[in-house]
C-alpha cells in the first residue's frame, strides 16, 4: 500500500475482513497456472503445421495437454464442490447472479460507480458475480469437451478404453490401438467416432477463444476495480483479506 495514501487516511477508518478462504485461493492460482499451460500447449497444437511440429511431436504435445487438463479438471471439480461447503464468500449464493433483489443490487452498484462512490462488497460485487459465472461456465465447457477429446483423439481416460472398444477392427484387441496410428482400427467405426467428436471439437475451440476474451475482460475489470475502490482486491487472492477505508461495513452479497 502506498505510504502517502496510508498517512492521509485516519487509522480508525481501516477495516480488514477475512474473505477468501485458503481453498478458494489455491483453486484460483492452480487454475491460473493450468489455464496458461493449456493456452500455450493448445495454441502450439492448433498451429502445429505452421510451426513445423512433427507427428510424433504433436502426439507428445497432446499428451502434455491432457495431463495439464487433468489438473485443470480436478481443480475445477473441487471448486464446484467447495461452492457447497466453503465459507460464506465461496458458496454459490455469493457467486451466482441469483437471489431476491440481485438485479436491483446490480443497478445500485452501477449507479454508485458512475457517481464515483462505489458500494463496498466483502465478496464479489454484483457485476463481478456475472463475470465469475461466465468464467466458470466457460471453464466447465472446456473441461467436459476436453475430456471427451482426450478419449477420442489419443485414447486417454476417462473415455479412451470405451472408444478403443468401439473402433477396434475385427480380429484385433483394443490394447493394440495406439494414438496416431490407423492399425487395428475399423475404418467405418472410426469414421462414426470422428463424427461423434466433431461437435465437441467445435465447442472446445470456440469456447477457447471466448475464454481468452473473458480472461482479458476479467483482468481489466479487476485492475479498474482495484484502482477505484482501493480495497486490496488483488492482494486478497494471496492472503485472503480485504481492507476497506470506510466507516460503513461492506455488504456481504
Q: Each residue's pLDDT tens digit in the chain (253 positions)?
A: 333 333 344 445 678 889 999 999 999 999 999 999 999 999 999 999 899 999 999 999 999 999 999 999 999 999 999 999 999 999 999 999 998 889 999 999 999 888 878 888 889 999 999 999 999 999 999 999 999 999 999 999 999 999 999 999 999 999 999 999 999 999 999 999 999 999 999 999 999 999 999 999 999 999 998 888 888 889 999 999 998 876 666 777 6
Query: In which element (H, E) is residue 15 found?
Result: strand 15-18
Q: Is 243 helix (H, G, I), strand (E, B) or coil?
A: strand
CB 57 within 8 A of CB 66: no
DSSP string, 190-237: HHHHHHHHHHHHHHHHHHHHHHHHHHHHHHHHHHHHHHHH-S-TTTHH
Query: In which element (H, E) is residue 133 found?
Result: helix 126-153
| Cα–Cα dist 105/167, whole Å | 54
**pLDDT given for residue 202 in this prediction:** 97
Any idea which fold 15-244 has? Fumarate Reductase Cytochrome B subunit (1.20.950)
**pLDDT given for residue 148 in this prediction:** 98
Q: Where are the domains of the chain?
A: 15-244
Amino acid at each position: 500500500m502506498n505510504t502517502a495514501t496510508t498517512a492521509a487516511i485516519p487509522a480508525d477508518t481501516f477495516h480488514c475482513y477475512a474473505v477468501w478462504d485458503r481453498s478458494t485461493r489455491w483453486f484460483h492460482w492452480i487454475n491460473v497456472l493450468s489455464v496458461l499451460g493449456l493456452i500455450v500447449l493448445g495454441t502450439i497444437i492448433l498451429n502445429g503445421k505452421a510451426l513445423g511440429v512433427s507427428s510424433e511431436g504433436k502426439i507428445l504435445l497432446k499428451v502434455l495437454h491432457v495431463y495439464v487438463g487433468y489438473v485443470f479438471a480436478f481443480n475445477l471439480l473441487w471448486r464446484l464442490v467447495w461452492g457447497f461447503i466453503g465459507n460464506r464468500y465461496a458458496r454459490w449464493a455469493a457467486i451466482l447472479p441469483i437471489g431476491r433483489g440481485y438485479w436491483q443490487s446490480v443497478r445500485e452498484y452501477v449507479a454508485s460507480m458512475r457517481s464515483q462512490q462505489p458500494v463496498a462488497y466483502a465478496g464479489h460485487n454484483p457485476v463481478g458475480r456475472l463475470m465469475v459465472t461466465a468464467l466458470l461456465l466457460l471453464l466447465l465447457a472446456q473441461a467436459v469437451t476436453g475430456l471427451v477429446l482426450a478419449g477420442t483423439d489419443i485414447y486417454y481416460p476417462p473415455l479412451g478404453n470405451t472408444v478403443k472398444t468401439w473402433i477396434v477392427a475385427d480380429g484385433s484387441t483394443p490394447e493394440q490401438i495406439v494414438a496416431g496410428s490407423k492399425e487395428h482400427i475399423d475404418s467405418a467405426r472410426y469414421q462414426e467416432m470422428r463424427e461423434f467428436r466433431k461437435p465437441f471439437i467445435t465447442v472446445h475451440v470456440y469456447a477457447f477463444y471466448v475464454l481468452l476474451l473473458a480472461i482479458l475482460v476479467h483482468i481489466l475489470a479487476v485492475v479498474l476495480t482495484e484502482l477505484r475502490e482501493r480495497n486490496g482486491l488483488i492482494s486478497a487472492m494471496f492472503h485472503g483479506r480485504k481492507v476497506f477505508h470506510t466507516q460503513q461495513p461492506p455488504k456481504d452479497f
